[in-house]
């Protein structure tokens, strides 16, 4: 005669099967992605643009920052391409590498200029842009024929535009979490390549380390600084993320609203304290947001 | 004796995986076998328990860059765990990569201490193993975790993938003063019919050994914990050399 299963245990079988099925699904996805993805190196010239055109403009300033760090460190993240080498993710990195492959400084300046929407380099009045053109000219080019690291996803973007888009989105969302050690090691490599931490503008011939590091890691310069100065166990994602301040602000506002509504019904000192506490956190979130680098002004195409 | 690779898994945290893994390592060392403990847990507790620097280059570096094991004072070789195991590079590894890497190392006994909750790391250990121990204590949470591991093992076998040929469920931390523990055998045989069962009773010497960073065969060779683990070691050796699937 079978005993009745103990409370709790009766539900174990069903729950196990349900969770286990999800385990299998997750695993099948991971297996599929892994089997369909190869890594390798291909000639830069073989990489082709997205079949359906670029959905976003590349940011010329970002491309320049990337080019400087690629010149020093190489391309750390492979470009993601489909089986016919159409670009799926990495437009800015691709533009940076193409820039570096241009051997003649003058030609390179013109190429970057057209990325930046500058019609005529000779007519340039803007000092900031002139300095950027100088940085473009002084980039150390990569030897031709250039090879780039790629991750090839085995499908045809022409035939499956949805999958192409979802890969692009997923790649952009993937936030690599750096440890203090890794960031410091990257900083050292950049220093060896002539980058310097500088208050204000770097001297002629030097490149600014803070922005270069921030570009590689994908966080604000302030966050990178805090990481380097901070405790060894901190990782970048422990610090404020790029979107967290906005979400934090929304949360604080909601909390203040709730507290005010509660206070309206039950006025008490405690309610007020809650509101003040939320307001203080709101201030911190706003401050963090203000500390983030502002987007660089784009030069309008004539 | 050809190499035997024991995966110690269980999904649920705190059921005794690391304690049992280190205890088994001690027993095999005592039998004069060469032993390697592969710590697959970002917490790197097995490394700590065996007296090796838990932050030294370990399993992650072994899998991605060819690092070699650390040597504990006792002579046990250890690949520490650590946060490197959560790196994207490790997540992208093929499940058989640990199996392939271990095949190149001449060692008698390899014990893989699998982490709680992190399926891709656990899978590396299970795929590499010749026998697997699935650990659960008397709480239904542990049974849920163990159940998922058992389903995975069955799935591996059904699809003829690389993996252990035999496995057993280890009822751990057994204390018959607790009513749940008294009923555990019945609960487990109902929930997991046909799965071989082994036991490790609650024994404070086992926990003390890991916290004091000593081997159980040095600290308490006559303890009940050692008796239980000895039976498990014997079962593992027999299961690894058997031809049939049980």
B59-69 pLDDT, tens per residue?
999 998 878 99
State the complex-level ipTM.
Answer: 0.81
When the pLDDT of each residue in chain A is averaged and rounded to a whole number, the result is 77
pTM greater than 0.80: no
Q: Are residues A48 and A190 in the same domain?
A: yes
Q: Are residues A209 and A257 in the same domain?
A: no
Instruction: Give yes or no for residue B31 having a pLDDT over 90.
Output: yes
Q: Are residues A212 and A280 in the same domain?
A: no
For tokens 């690092």, what's the residue?
Answer: B67
Task: Among B92, B94, B191, select the one facing A13 at the smallest CB separation.
Answer: B191
Choose one of A221, A238, A255: the last residue of a domain.
A238
CB contact under 8 A, B183 and A6: yes
CA distance A203 to A200: 9
Distance (Å) from the C-alpha of residue A82 to the closest C-alpha of chain B? 18
Instruction: Give yes or no for residue A302 having a pLDDT over 50.
Output: no
For tokens 């590091």, what's the residue?
Answer: A213
| Domain boundary assignment for chain B | 4-241
Which residues in chain A have their CB less than 8 angstroms from residue B119's CB? 23, 26-27
CA distance B206 to B221: 10
Starting at the edge strand that comes first in sequence, how are the strands of the sheet with A37-43 ordered? A37-43, A147-153, A79-82, A87-89
Instruction: Please report how many Cα atoms fall inside a 13 Å half-sphere around the Cα of residue B213, on the Cβ side.
Output: 11
Structural Rg of chain B based on CA atoms: 16
Q: CA angle, A237 as apex, A200 and B63 as ends, to 5°?
A: 115
Choose one of A238, A266, A283: the last residue of a domain.
A238
Give the other-Cβ count within 10 Å of B90's Cβ: 21
Band (B185; pLDDT cuts 50, 70, 90): very high
DSSP state of B107: -
Determine contact, residues B58/B67, Cβ cutoff 8 Å: yes
Q: Are residues A52 and A192 in the same domain?
A: yes
The residue with greater pLDDT, A271 or B3, is B3
Residue B51 Ramachandran class (φ > 0 left, ψ -120 to 50 alpha, else beta): left
Element holding A207 (H helix, E strand): strand A207-208
Q: Are residues A138 and A203 in the same domain?
A: yes
Q: Are residues A167 and A42 in the same domain?
A: yes
**What is the structure's pLDDT at A14?**
86
Q: Are residues A130 and A219 in the same domain?
A: yes
pLDDT per residue as tens digits for the range A74-104: 887 889 998 888 998 888 999 999 999 999 9
pLDDT per residue as tens digits for the range A48-77: 988 766 656 788 998 999 999 888 888 878
The count of structural domains within chain A is: 2
Give the other-Cβ count within 10 Å of B194's Cβ: 6
Instruction: Give yes or no for residue A294 having a pLDDT over 60.
Output: no
**What is the structure's pLDDT at B151?**
95
pLDDT per residue as tens digits for the range A251-276: 667 777 776 766 666 656 666 776 77
CA distance A108 to A96: 11
CB contact under 8 A, B151 and A3: no
Distance (Å) from the C-alpha of residue A172 to the closest C-alpha of chain B? 15
> A300 in a domain, yes or no?
no
The residue with greater pLDDT, B154 or A206, is B154
CA distance B46 to B104: 22
> A268 in a domain, yes or no?
yes
Band (A249; pLDDT cuts 50, 70, 90): low
Q: Please tell me whether residue B6 adopts helix, strand or coil conformation.
A: strand
Which residues in chain B have their CB less than 8 angstroms from residue A24's CB? 151, 155
The residue with greater pLDDT, B75 or A262, is B75
CA distance B23 to A49: 58
Torsion sign, CA atoms B44, B45, B49, B55: positive
Distance (Å) from the C-alpha of residue B140 to the closest C-alpha of chain A? 6
What is the CA A223 to chain-centroid distance, rounded?
14
Q: Are residues A81 and A67 in the same domain?
A: yes
Q: Are residues A92 and A202 in the same domain?
A: yes
**Which of A120-124, A174-178, A187-191 has the highest average model confidence (pLDDT)?**
A187-191
The residue with greater pLDDT, B71 or A28, is B71
Q: Are residues A53 and A201 in the same domain?
A: yes
Residues of the domain holding A280: 244-291
Which residues in chain A have their CB less than 8 angstroms from residue B140's CB? 8-9, 11-12
CATH topology assigned to domain B4-241: Rossmann fold (3.40.50)
Q: Which residues contact B244 (CB under 8 A, 6 or more apart)?
A: none
Instruction: Give yes or no for residue A202 having a pLDDT over 90.
Output: no
B208-211's contacts with Cβ under 8 Å and 24+ in sequence apart are B209/B19, B209/B22, B209/B23, B209/B26, B209/B49, B210/B18, B210/B19, B210/B22, B210/B45, B210/B48, B210/B49, B211/B49
Q: Are residues A152 and A137 in the same domain?
A: yes
Q: Are residues A123 and A262 in the same domain?
A: no
């Amino acid at each position: 005669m079978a005993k009745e299963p103990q409370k709790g245990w009766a539900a174990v079988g069903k729950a196990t099967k349900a969770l286990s099925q999800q385990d299998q699904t997750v695993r099948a996805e991971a297996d599929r992605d892994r089997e369909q993805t190869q890594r390798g190196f291909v000639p830069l010239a073989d990489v082709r643009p997205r079949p359906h055109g670029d959905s976003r403009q590349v940011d010329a300033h970002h491309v320049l920052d990337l080019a400087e760090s690629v010149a020093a460190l190489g391309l750390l993240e492979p470009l993601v391409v489909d089986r016919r080498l159409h670009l799926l993710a990495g437009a800015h990195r691709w533009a940076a590498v193409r820039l570096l492959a241009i051997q003649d400084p003058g030609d390179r300046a013109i190429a970057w200029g057209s990325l930046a929407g500058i019609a005529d380099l000779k007519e340039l009045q803007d000092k900031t842009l002139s300095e950027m053109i100088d940085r473009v000219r002084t980039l150390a080019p990569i030897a031709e024929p250039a090879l780039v690291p790629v991750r090839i996803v085995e499908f045809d973007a022409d035939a499956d535009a949805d999958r192409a888009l979802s890969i692009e989105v997923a790649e952009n969302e993937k936030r690599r979490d750096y440890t203090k050690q890794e960031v410091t090691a990257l900083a050292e490599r950049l220093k060896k390549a002539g980058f310097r931490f500088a208050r204000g503008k770097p001297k002629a011939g030097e490149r600014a380390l803070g922005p270069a590091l921030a570009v590689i890691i994908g966080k604000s310069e302030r966050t990178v600084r805090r990481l380097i100065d901070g405790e060894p166990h901190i990782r970048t994602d422990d610090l404020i993320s790029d979107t967290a301040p906005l979400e934090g602000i929304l949360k604080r506002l909601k909390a203040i609203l709730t507290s005010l509504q509660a206070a309206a019904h039950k006025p008490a000192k405690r309610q007020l304290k809650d509101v003040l506490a939320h307001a203080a956190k709101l201030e911190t979130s706003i401050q963090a947001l203000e500390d983030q680098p502002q987007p660089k002004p784009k030069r309008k195409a004539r | 004796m050809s190499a035997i690779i024991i995966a110690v898994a269980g999904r649920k945290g705190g059921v005794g995986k690391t304690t049992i893994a280190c205890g088994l390592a001690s027993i095999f060392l005592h039998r004069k076998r060469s032993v390697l403990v592969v710590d697959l847990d970002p917490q790197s507790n097995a490394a700590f328990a065996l007296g090796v620097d838990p932050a030294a280059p370990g399993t992650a570096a072994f899998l991605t860059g060819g690092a070699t094991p650390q040597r504990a004072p006792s002579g046990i070789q250890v690949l520490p765990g650590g946060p490197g195991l959560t790196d994207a590079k490790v997540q992208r590894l093929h499940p058989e990569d640990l199996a392939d890497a271990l095949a190149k190392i001449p060692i008698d006994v390899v014990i893989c201490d699998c982490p709680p909750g992190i399926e891709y790391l656990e899978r590396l250990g299970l795929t590499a193993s010749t026998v697997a121990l699935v650990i659960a204590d008397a709480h239904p949470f542990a049974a849920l975790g163990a159940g998922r591991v058992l389903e995975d093992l069955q799935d591996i076998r059904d699809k003829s993938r690389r993996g252990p040929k035999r496995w057993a469920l280890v009822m751990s931390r057994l204390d018959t003063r607790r009513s749940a523990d008294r009923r555990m055998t019945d609960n487990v045989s109902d929930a997991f019919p046909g799965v071989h069962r082994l036991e490790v009773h609650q024994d404070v010497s086992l926990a003390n050994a890991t916290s004091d960073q000593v081997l159980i065969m040095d600290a308490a060779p006559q303890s009940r914990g050692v008796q239980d683990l000895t039976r498990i070691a014997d079962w593992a050796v027999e299961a690894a050399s058997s031809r049939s699937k049980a």
